[in-house]
Amino acid sequence: MGLTLRALLLAASATRAFASCAHGTFLRPRAEDGTVEVGKFGYTGSIVRLSGPLNWAALEAPANSVCATGTRQSPIDMVEGVFSVLQGSEVELTVNDMPEGAEFENLGTTVEVITQGGTLKVAEKQFELQQFHFHLPSEHLDNGTSQAMEMHMVFQSATQEIAVIGVYINIADQAAAPAAKRSPSRITRRQEATTPPPATAATGPTALLETIFGVVDQISTPGTKVKTPPLVMSEVVDILKANAFQIYSGSLTTPPCSEGVNWHVSTARLGVTSASFVKVRDVIGFNSRYPQNTPGQPNILMLSALGSAAAAVAAAAAPAAAPAAA
C-alpha cells in the first residue's frame, strides 16, 4: 500500500509544513500565529518542472515518496467496480452554520474555508470537520467525465485517520450537466450488488457556494484571507444526505499523498453561476492532479519510469540508421 498516514506523520513533522489538502489536520497543522501558509508545490506553469505532480515525491523526501510509489493514489476515475455505495441515510453528517462567517484563505494551491464544527460518523467511527476547499476542474472523474469543480470536505478522527467528502460542482445557470453515461453491462453488474440512485445534477446555484465565491476576488493574492458573510451549511448537508456516496480507500490528492484516506464521493451535484465560476477560476486557475491508476494497481509514475527505461534499452539495441543517400 505504500506509506500510510501514521508512517508519514513522523516524516512530515521533521520538515516545515506547507499547505495541502490535509491543511488543518495532524499532517499539516496550521501556523500558530495565524499566518496563511502558501503551498510550495504546483500544477502547471513556470513551476511545473520543479514542483508539479511529476516531481512531488522529490519536493519533501522522504515524506512525499508515496506520491510516486503508492498503489492507492487519488484522484481516480469513478467507474463501476472501483467503489462501494453508501446511502446518505446511513451516514451521520452534521456541519454547524457559521452566523459570524468564516475565515476564507488563499493557500496558493487552493482556496479554503476554515470550519467551526462538524462531524461525519460512518460505521461507528467519528471524524471531525477541519476545513473544505476547492479544485478546478474536478479531480475525480465521473466515469471518464470531468466536472467544472470539486469541493473537498476534510475530516480527521481522534485516532488520526482522514476522511474526505468529495462533491462535484456544475455551472448551474447553463443546461444542467447530466451524469456520465454508463454502459448497460456495467449497470447490470452494479445492480447485482447494490443500486445507487442516479447522480443528481444541480438545478440551480447553491447558496453556500455563491456566498463564498462572492468574496473570492478579495483573496486573489496567495497568502491572503478574508471573513466571509454568514454561511448556512444545512442546504449542502441536506443535499448530501439525500443522495449516496461512492466510497473507496485512496490518498490525499496533494503532497504528501498519504494513503489510507476514506473517500466519500457524493452522487449529488452542487451548482454555481457562470459569473461565480469565472471569479473563482480567475483566482485558482488550475489545481487538479491527474487521475491515478485503479486502486491496487502499480503507481502510474512507476509504470512511466519502466516504460521510459524499456524505450531507452530498445533505442540502444536498435541498429544505427544507414546514412541518407546523397
CATH of the domain at 13: 3.10.200.10
Asked whether residue 235 is domain-assigned, the answer is yes
Q: Which three cell numbers stand for residue 142?
A: 465521473
- Is position 307 within any domain? no
Alpha helices in 85-219 (DSSP H): 184-193, 207-213
Longest dimension (CA), the chain: 81
- Decide if pLDDT at 253 tops 50: yes
Whether residue 64 lies inside any domain: the answer is yes
For the cut 50, the answer to whether the pLDDT of residue 192 exceeds it is no
Residue 224: per-residue pLDDT: 97
pLDDT at 203: 72
Dist CA 236 CA 63 (whole Å)? 34
Report pLDDT for 94. 98
Cα dist. 77→54, 73, 164, 207 in Å?
Answer: 19, 11, 16, 28
CA distance 108 to 110: 6
pLDDT above 50 for 79: yes
Full domain range(s) for residue 220: 5-292
Is the per-residue pLDDT at 11 higher than 50? Answer: no
The total number of structural domains in the chain stands at: 1
Give a yes or no: residue 301 inside a domain: no
What pLDDT, on a 0 to 100 scale, did the predictor assign at position 140? 98
225: which residues sit within 8 A by CB, 6+ positions away?
Answer: 36, 103, 104, 105, 106, 219
- Does residue 197 register a pLDDT over 50? no
Structural domain includes residue 274: yes
Minimal CA–CA distance to 287: which of 15, 13, 19, 12?
19
Per-residue pLDDT of 24-39, as tens digits, reads 665 667 677 778 888 8
Predicted pLDDT of residue 59: 86
pLDDT at 31: 73
Does 278 reside within a domain? Answer: yes
Give domain status of residue 299, yes or no. no
Per-residue pLDDT tens over the stretch 106-148: 999 999 999 999 999 999 899 999 999 999 999 999 999 999 9
- Answer yes or no: is 310 within a domain: no
